[in-house]
Structure 1
Amino acid sequence: MVRWWNGIGWSDVATPAGPGVTTGTGEQTLRPPRPVWQPAGPAATRSRVPWVVGAVVAAVVVLVVGVVLGTSGGRTGDPGPTGVAGPTATGPTFAPGTVQIVDNQAGIAYPFLGDGWYQYVLSPPLETTSVAGQYFVTQDTVPDGGEFIAQITSGPVAEGYGWTGPGSAQATVDTLTESVRANYYPGPNEAEVLRDEAVTVDGAPGWIREFVLSWDNPGYDATGERAALLVVDTGRSAPALLYLSIPNTHAELYGVIDRVVEAVDVL
């Protein structure tokens, strides 16, 4: 019987280990301190996953969020494979038949993109209090350590990012944009905004900002990325953040951003 480590704590229940499962006694090394974003001053040069660089987890890392098998929510189409290329992530993926990722903490659900995407089991980013979603590795090692990834993740927005209640989604997106640019991308970088507007997500008010980042830093396969931040007022104390990012090494996948955003359900 084993308990599962999700990067933050242990599961409340024990389950049979099953075939092929390697077990350990827990987390054997400490994670490096999480970066602290400062709204003023020069942006820090960081990899896309600074919150887990150097961490070694001896326990099995498994499901962080619930997934729906078959159909769930208001949209039930088969997302189909995305044909991703490049380095592959090592870690769990979703069960066969999964078509939707359900983030009960954030209060939203959105499509699982299929083969080549892995279940996101890394620690939560600074901007959310928990994390759910999917990702794959696009570069195994970057100059400042860690990996570079494509990701579609979600979570409740943490305190201190501009949320003061209904009507503050745009201000929240403003602050979140500064934070992700400073913490997860090589600097300096430039941003071209593609859209910045109020949206209605499954009947709920929200704000989306989609932009293209560019940089010129040696040691990175990507020289830019298309990203989108969608904040949704789900009626809870904290809004949901959906963070979508595709490096330009995989520009053929830019279309999944609109595809996922258009299919978000509010729980």
Structure 2
Amino acid sequence: MSAPGAAPPGYYPDPDGLPGMVRWWDGSAWSDVATPAGPGVMTATGEAVHRPSAPAWQPARPARSGSRTSWVVGGVVVAVVVLVVAVVLGTSGRQAPDPGPTDVAGPPVAGPTFAPGTVQIVDQAAGIAYPFLGDGWYQYPFGAPLETTEVTGQYFVTQDTIPDGGEFIAQVTSGPVAEGYGWAGTATLGTTTATLAESVRANYYPGPNDRDVLRDEAVTVDGAPGWVYEFTLSWDAAGYDATGERAALLLVDVGRAAPALLYLSIPNTHAELHGVIDRVIGAVEVL
């Protein structure tokens, strides 16, 4: 199979010529599996960009309750988006080139959109940046959760209505950690992350639930010390399409008074996107 030279990582039209298919290029080699092109799959071929204009939209701040609210519940009814996503590195606020998604038909506008050409979300308040995942992901419009003082990021709705009247979503969001979670410098990265994970589990998911920890370890993030806690939750709760979710918390000591928290979650109704979590974590930059 031919490679796209020095092209940046991203999804490209299948090099074997399969119609309507794309394949992931990591900068040096192709993935083994081709993926159907469609909403949410950005290709890096420089083709015409197609994005809906931002609507006039005033979201309500989500209520906090025992089920998954705050970070996972919004006040706007939208269509369920079934997507395959790809991380394309770069930044809209820097001098990085726009990789250019394929002009594909997408779902109706379901929330505030990012500016044309956006390929990276820059969270100035938290001090980190990470990939924008493409068409079908929308700017996170809700208020800050309990765990952070501000919030930035992207999301899409996976279930319109859940038992408490809200919505269930997939998300990649960030913000500076709020006080009260035990942060006292780099030495507390692990304990602070564990405390934040317990808060997330208690506040935003149906219970009872079971947890399977996949990763709980120190990491280096763009040269800065960090900690990643990745896990799956499972539950048996009436009224939920999902019976579980894969999620991760990445805490980064960015040299400020508060560390940066990146929270990623994908319900098992969209298990084809679970790989996005590790891919985004591996592409985080410190500002």
TM score, norm. by length of structure 1: 0.74
Residue type at the aligned position of 2:235: W
**Equivalent position to 2:66, from 15, 40, 45:** 45
**Equivalent position to 1:165, from 172, 180, 185:** 185
2:262 corresponding residue in structure 1:
242
Shift of 1:218: 0.8
Superposed, 1:6-21 pairs within 5 Å as: none
CA distance, structure 2, for counterparts of residue 111 and residue 204 of structure 1: 18
For the aligned residue pairs, the C-alpha RMSD in angstroms reads 3.1
Residue type at the aligned position of 2:231: F
1:11 corresponding residue in structure 2:
none
Query: Do structure 1's residue 257 and structure 2's residue 277 form an aligned pair?
Result: yes
Identity percentage of aligned residues: 67
CA distance, structure 1, for counterparts of residue 68 and residue 272 of structure 2: 22
Asked if the contact 2:72/2:168 (under 8 Å) is kept, the reply is no
2:250 corresponding residue in structure 1:
230
Shift of 1:219: 0.4
**Equivalent position to 2:215, from 174, 180, 195:** 195
Shift of 1:20: 8.8
SS of 2:187's equivalent in the other structure is: coil
Superposed, 1:33-182 pairs within 5 Å as: 35=64, 45-49=66-70, 68-69=91-92, 78=99, 90-182=110-202
Shift of 1:71: 5.3
Asked if the contact 2:210/2:234 (under 8 Å) is kept, the reply is yes
Which residues of structure 1 form unaligned runs of 5+?
1-18, 36-43, 57-66
Which residues of structure 2 form unaligned runs of 5+?
1-52, 78-89
CA distance, structure 2, for counterparts of residue 266 and residue 126 of structure 1: 23
CA distance, structure 1, for counterparts of residue 76 and residue 174 of structure 2: 22
CA distance, structure 2, for counterparts of residue 182 and residue 94 of structure 1: 31
Change (3 A) 1:235 1:176: same
Asked if the contact 2:230/2:247 (under 8 Å) is kept, the reply is yes
CA distance, structure 2, for counterparts of residue 264 and residue 218 of structure 1: 36
Residue type at the aligned position of 1:47: R
Count of aligned pairs between the two proteins: 221
Shift of 1:69: 2.3
* Superposed structure 1 runs of 4+ greater than 2 Å apart: 19-23, 47-56, 67-73, 76-81, 87-90
